[in-house]
Structure 1
Amino acid sequence: MELNELQKRTGVSRVFLATDAPEAEVDQLAQLVTVPVLRFHDAELLDGAVAIVDQWICAHARAFIGTHVSTFSYRIQEDREILGFAPNTTFSRFCPDDVVDCEQPAKWTIVYE
């Protein structure tokens, strides 16, 4: 899944990036997309608190793309499912570098009885 493709499909006007990647990588990504890339920063919060804010923002976003084998992404997908977001806006993941079409996450949907 690619950000520019998602932007065209969903019409999003900006991207929120929840990551602990180095700033140089974030800047590199920002150069590759056609919309502004936003992040949450608060010097008064510890990393864990920032991650909670990031998770809440991602869980409520119009669309979400996670990463492979990530508990953080899994929890956001679970939150989005509970909140009622459509699976096609919830269960996507970034492909590794130089891979155009990679396996997407399984849709382990909640069954309410």
Structure 2
Amino acid sequence: MTAANRDDVPVVIEGGGVELRTKPIGGDLSVGFIRLPKGAHMGPAMQGLPGDACQCPHWGYLIKGRLTMHTPAGDDVYEAGQAYYWGPGHVPEALEDSEFVEFSPTEDFRPVVDHIKSQMS
């Protein structure tokens, strides 16, 4: 059995109040611990990805805050206490300071993380 404590997972993206901690947790999945400050819109960091959006699916739980998830099908709002699935083609925007934990296919998530890091540097 594999477990991950947020504080033991390495920070891979940090800046402007955005924090992403991620590491492989078992099999083909990685765990991510994410913090987005109110007003953070990840659209600019995703410019240049297919559809200018994250193409990795995520399953997770919103611990704190509210987010709008922009998708080609329209926008959806998620609130603390909700579990979610976000399919390929999404862009998050924090309506409040938000924290969430999610699980993603490692090989699909890695290029998204690398792209965002290149946009933030």
Regarding TM over 0.5, the answer is no
Q: Could you tell me the TM-score, scaled by structure 2's length?
A: 0.29
Larger RCO (CA under 8 A, 6+ residues apart):
2
| Structure with the bigger percentage of helix | 1
| Structure with the bigger percentage of strand | 2
Q: Could you tell me the TM-score, scaled by structure 1's length?
A: 0.30
